[in-house]
Copies of this chain bind each other. A is one copy, B any other.
Amino acid sequence: MIEGEPEAQSGEDRLIARYFRPLATHPGAFGLLDDAATITPPPGSDVVLKADAVVGGVHFFPDDPPDTIAKKALRVNLSDLAAKGAGPAGFLLSLALPQTLGGDWLEAFARGLGEDAEAYRCPLMGGDTDRTPGPVTISIAAFGILPCGTMVRRSGARPGDLVVVTGTIGDAALGLLVRRDPDTAMRWRLEHRQRDHLIERYLLPRPRNAIAEALRQYATAAMDVSDGLVGDLGKLCVASGMVADIEVARVPLSDAARQAVASDPSLVDTALTGGDDYEVVATVAAGAKDALMAAAEAAGVALTQIGTIRSGRPGVRFLDHAGKPMLFNKPSFSHF
């Protein structure tokens, strides 16, 4: 005989109630007490769907702080919603946990996740928790809302469009090198704050959701930069059937990244192809550039023009300081 809540609750129920129910603030999440959640899109809306997982030892170090692991797992998905012009509506979490991770880890993980769910107005809608004999694996599916048919595609770039990119490029890839080998920071003659900046950019993406609506209004094409600017912009160009001419000198670098590249010029390759930037690269018609720039400034997001779009055999061309096309060993990051 099973009566009353305490007896009917399994270990998984208790774990969910303790750590995750406080994050399920959306009425359609039903307090995580049902089997599924609902969202009610406004009439005339599309629901934008995105899933991206992060795996311990692959996408983050097992000893990274659990709150930043949670935030990174959510933010890599928020970054796609931003680039596609969608406002966040909520997310589902599938969490596979090794036995070695205890309550302290989960508590910090849930705290970080809750902070970002609130900050980005993207509530936890549901999900599941499982045991795994492998590393902690965090699979998030995120949902966005936008007016029907207005998702910003990769394929909309047109001749004469300008190519713009948010924030700075290469910090996370350089930060990963510093995280792996702390001596790197000395070799690059980084100040402490520069070293910390690069590591922090690797740990914690800064998705550009603040300009999602502006991208939706003004961008002809956009995508987030997750596998390196060279490869990702290459994909956008192939999807659009266009060529992008990029001036490397215009690609925005943080002062930490500039210092690293000054110490070792070969690091420009790492910065442009290393991945984990979670910035947005977009194209915009020349006539809409000022409006997009103004909206980005109002949202506090740096936006830099780095090149132009023209017709030709689809692809991307990075021109060095002397105006010569650059060659890259491995243009795009891939686990496969």
**Residues of A in contact with B (beta carbons under 8 Å apart):** 1-5, 7-8, 10-15, 28, 30, 33-41, 43-55, 57-59, 80-81, 83-84, 86, 90, 92-94, 96, 125-135, 137, 139, 141, 143-144, 148, 151, 153-155, 223-224, 227, 230-231, 234-235, 237-239, 243, 313-318, 325-328, 331-336
Contact partners of A141 in chain B: CB under 8 A: 49, 51, 92, 94, 139, 141
Q: Are A131 and B33 in contact (CB under 8 A)?
A: no
Could you tell me the distance between the alpha carbons of A267 and B11 in the complex, rounded to whole angstroms?
A: 23
| With A34-B151, A43-B44, A51-B93 already in contact, 13 other A-B pairs whose C-beta atoms are closer than 8 Å | A1-B327, A4-B314, A8-B238, A8-B315, A8-B331, A10-B336, A14-B336, A36-B86, A40-B45, A40-B47, A50-B92, A52-B94, A129-B336
CB closest chain-B residue, reference A137: B137
A83 CB contacts on chain B under 8 angstroms = 35
Assess whether B132 is in contact with A51, with CB atoms less than 8 Å apart.
no
Point out the residues of chain B lying under 8 angstroms from A235, CB to CB. Answer: 8, 13
**Shortest distance from the beta carbon of A24 to any chain B beta carbon, whole Å:** 12
Q: What is the CA–CA distance of A128 and B335 in the complex, to the nearest angstrom?
A: 11
Partner of A315, one of B4, B44, B84: B4
Residues in B neighbouring A336, C-beta threshold 8 A: 10-12, 14-15, 129, 131
12 A-B Cβ contacts within 8 A?
A: A1-B325, A3-B314, A12-B334, A12-B336, A28-B46, A34-B223, A36-B50, A38-B46, A39-B46, A41-B41, A50-B126, A134-B137
Contact of A137 among B8, B45, B93, B132 (CB under 8 A): B132
- In the complex formed, the residue of B with least CB distance to A92 is B51
Q: Identify the 5 closest CB pairs spanning chains A and B, nearest first.
A: A134-B134, A11-B336, A3-B315, A10-B334, A139-B139
For A10, list chain B residues within 8 Å (CB): 227, 231, 332-334, 336
Report Cα–Cα, A50/B2, bound state, in Å. 27
Q: In chain B, what residue has the closest Cβ to A226? A: B35
Question: In the complex, which residues of chain B have a beta carbon less than 8 angstroms from the beta carbon of A224?
Answer: 35
Known contacts: A11-B335, A41-B41, A134-B132. The answer to whether A1 contacts B317 by CB under 8 A is yes
For the complex, give the distance between the alpha carbons of A26 and B128 in Å.
Answer: 26
Shortest Cβ gap from A97 to chain B (Å): 8
For the complex, give the distance between the alpha carbons of A36 and B41 in Å.
17
Give the contacting residue for A130; candidates B3, B36, B58, B148; CB below 8 A.
B58
- Determine the distance from Cα of A57 to Cα of B224 in the docked complex, in whole angstroms: 35
Q: How far is the CA of A41 from the CA of B7 in the complex (A)?
A: 40
Instruction: Please give me the residue from chain B that is nearest to A273 by CB atom.
Output: B2
